[in-house]
């Protein structure tokens, strides 16, 4: 079991489910993605560069688009955090909230393609 699996298993079910969906969407969209642990959270790298991170907080989970988040178009307005950042963007999901996975995958692909 990896540190990321242990992290996910330690979370309340709704948070685990949110982060597992993000992890799966990343791996589906970017098969060559590598996982690592940095800043006490799971991160996802392409060619050694951190593109994504995910984390859980008391009231929400967060999908971070670290490297190119601010540079990609978000026509479906999925980004709801870090909107003033010059580099990154985030998606916060609270318990009971969902996200359109096809549009999420499009953002993931756009970030890696940038």
Is the pTM here over 0.85, yes or no? yes
Please tell me what DSSP assigns to residue 81: B
pLDDT of residue 1: 82
For residue 114, is pLDDT > 90? Answer: no
- The C-alpha atoms of residue 9 and residue 96 are separated, in whole angstroms, by 19
- The C-alpha atoms of residue 107 and residue 112 are separated, in whole angstroms, by 9
Domain of residue 13, residue span: 3-113
- The C-alpha atoms of residue 79 and residue 50 are separated, in whole angstroms, by 18
For residue 105, is pLDDT > 90? Answer: yes
pLDDT digit string (tens) for 77-88? Answer: 999 999 999 999
Domain CATH number, residue 19 = 3.90.1150.200
Q: How many folded domains does the chain comprise?
A: 1
Beta bridge partners of 56: 61
């Amino acid at each position: 079991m990896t540190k990321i699996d242990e992290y996910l298993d330690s979370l309340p079910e709704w948070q685990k489910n949110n982060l597992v969906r993000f992890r799966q969407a990343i791996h589906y969209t970017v098969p060559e993605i590598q996982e690592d642990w940095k800043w006490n959270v799971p991160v996802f790298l392409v060619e050694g560069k951190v593109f994504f991170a995910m984390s859980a907080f008391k009231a929400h989970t967060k999908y971070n688009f670290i490297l190119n988040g601010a540079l990609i178009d978000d026509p479906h307005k999925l980004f709801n955090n870090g909107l003033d950042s010059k580099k990154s963007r985030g998606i916060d999901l609270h318990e009971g909230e969902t996200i359109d996975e096809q549009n999420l995958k499009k953002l993931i692909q756009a970030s890696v393609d940038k």
